[in-house]
Amino acid sequence: MEISLRNQVAVVTGASSGIGTGIAKSLASAGATIIVNHSSERSADEAKAVLQEITDAGGKGITYQCDVSKEDQVVKMFQDVVSEFGTVDILVNNAGIQKDSKFTEMTLDQWNAVIGVNLTGQFLCAREAIKEFLRRGIDPTRSIACGKIIHISSVHEIIPWAGHANYASSKGAIRMLMQTLAQEYGANKIRVNSICPGAIQTPINKDAWSTPEALDSLLNLIPYNRIGQPQDIGNLAAFLASDLADYITGTSVFVDGGMTTFESFSTGG
């Protein structure tokens, strides 16, 4: 059973590092042409390095700088991608940030920054992707679906997280955005799902795994007793984007080593 994304174009936001890189590489290995989105000049070299890995392995793609929280930049990104590649088949809404703070000390700028990237960015990219899916319609030489959107959420769409009210709120809202889009556009054969990672070894959470003591403490929350890797998310993203997952839409899939079973209750709480 082969996962094939041949002849398909995938926009992966926030693909210059971490989970986004893992997803971009997995989709490319399945045959998709990858738009390696990054947010700024500071991440340009990282994005180029990711693209180099993809092309060295026989894949195809480009890098594209776009701040997903900016409407004009998102609109232009999709216009440019369609102009160069003809269409977009897959959107992976991965870009995300954290601005952590005790709630009473959280500034409006911290709140708005996280909501802007994590939620508004996913809205803007999904809107432009769906417009393109509907314009193109179903092309059976590409996929039996009209288009596929994968939102990258988090275990924190259901697990509250003190000190991270902005982040947890953005992820809880992604669940409703995803389900609403799946409901609204299911009849158009547009599939929309979320992947909810647990602890994945990436730069955004380096403090949680960078020392043996920190890693041991983290593993107390994970029944499977290992930290996740970006490829764990990439493997699922490739499947969900493929025709093998054609009857899966409107759902959140947790990739967390069992974190949402609440390991602290394993001995009775």
Catalytic residues: 167
- Reading the block at residue 45, the tokens are 């070299």
Q: Which residues sit opposite 64 in a β-bridge?
A: 37
User: Exposure string (b/e) for 166-201, b if CB count within 10 Å is 16 or more?
Assistant: bbbbbbbbbbebbbebbeebeeebbbbbbbbbbbbb
Angle (deg, nearest 10), helices 121-136 and 165-185:
20
- Picking from 35, 100, 101, 99, the residue whose alpha carbon sits closest to that of residue 68 is 35
Single-letter amino acid code for the residue at 130: I
CB neighbourhood size of 57 (10 A): 10
